[in-house]
Structure 1
Amino acid sequence: MSRIGLAPIAVPSGVEIKINGSEVEVKGSKGTQTVVLPEPITAAVEDGEIKVARPDENRKNRALHGLSRSLINNAVVGVSEGYTIKMEIFGVGYRVQLKGKNLEFALGYSHPVLIEAPEGITFAVDGATKLSVSGINKQQVGQIAANIRRLRKDDPYKGKGIRYDGEQIRRKVGKTGK
């Protein structure tokens, strides 16, 4: 039994839901998202809530049931509130600048690193060492943030690199000299 799939999704005011067969279109103040449901899963709007159903208790259908419900919920939250991931840069000479819609990083390489903003993603820079990635698609926002973090992962010895806001890194002790 999928506990996640059984929970109904509350639709906030200002969000429209259209269900066309296996497509669920979610419109809100921030934009529009479409979620394609897998084959056996169905969705229906009842009393201001979205209910996701499956045909039987097959193991695969139970897994798809919970997944579909989560994807629709992420779309509803995305078009009503949006998603934001905040990041920080640590290290001497490491900084970020906003160039138009894109980000330009100075991360100790011989060249600046440019990250282009895909459609639906916006970047904001606060000072030279703080940035945020925002958008309506949770998966896309998380993937772009992970790609930025991968540019210069945290060094466990010196603590330099890019990390998520509030993330704690495990520091290691360097070797002792004689």
Structure 2
Amino acid sequence: MSRIGKKEIIIPNNTDININHNQILVKGPKGSLSYEFSYLVKVEKINNKIQISKLQQTKKSREIYGLSRSIINNMIIGVSQGFEKKLIIQGVGYRSQLEGKNLILNVGYSHPIQIEPPENIEIKVENSTLIRISGINKETVGQIASKIRSTRPPEPYKGKGIRYDNEYVRRKVGKAGK
């Protein structure tokens, strides 16, 4: 049974929410997002709170119950505060730079890697080894961060590569010399 779905979502003062049939539209100072939720759940706006309830007692409705609540909560946080991920580049000669809106990575390959962000995502590069990805949609921020990290994930022997800010890479011991 989902305990997440039972929690009410408190709406901040600077956000507007419109619910039409099976669609919710959230507008805030950073932008607007919409989500089409399932017919198995009911979303109600009561004063400055959102309450989600199941319409059926099936396994599928229980699954969607908590998911819908999490997605709507992330939308409200995104349009009011936004989301941010930080990536750190480690390695000799590894660096990044911005060319327009595109991110150019030089991470040990014979060619630079170019990553083009979606329209609502903003990428900032600080001192060529710190990349900040920010936006209003938590899912796309995480996907772009994952895409950048997957170009050169950290390796366990020297720790070279691209890692998340709070990621710990377990180091292995190399070969023992004779």
Residue in 2 that maps onto 1:154: 154
Residue in 1 that maps onto 2:168: 168
Residue in 2 that maps onto 1:18: 18
1:38-64 deviation line (CA, Å, top 9, x unaligned): 121111100200111111322221111
Alignment partners' CA distance in 2, 1:125 and 1:62 = 42
Q: Which moved more, 1:34-43 or 1:64-73?
A: 34-43
After TM superposition, the structure 1 = structure 2 runs for residues 21-170 of structure 1, keeping only pairs within 5 Å, are 21-170=21-170
Residue in 2 that maps onto 1:2: 2
* Structure 2: gaps (5+ residues): none
Once the two structures are TM-superposed, the CA of residue 164 in structure 1 deviates from its matched residue by 0.4
Once the two structures are TM-superposed, the CA of residue 35 in structure 1 deviates from its matched residue by 1.0
* Structure 1: gaps (5+ residues): none
> Normalised by the size of structure 2, how large is the TM-score?
0.98
Aligned length: 178
| SS of match in other structure, 1:3 | coil
Write the letter of the residue equivalent to 1:107: V
Alignment partners' CA distance in 2, 1:142 and 1:71 = 14
| SS of match in other structure, 2:92 | coil
Q: Which moved more, 1:47-56 or 1:80-89?
A: 47-56
Q: State the superposition RMSD in angstroms.
A: 0.8
Same amino acid, percent of matched pairs: 49
Alignment partners' CA distance in 2, 1:42 and 1:34 = 16
Alignment partners' CA distance in 1, 2:166 and 2:66 = 29
1:61-108 deviation line (CA, Å, top 9, x unaligned): 111100000000000000000000011000000000011111101001
| SS of match in other structure, 1:4 | coil
| SS of match in other structure, 1:26 | strand
> Normalised by the size of structure 1, how large is the TM-score?
0.98
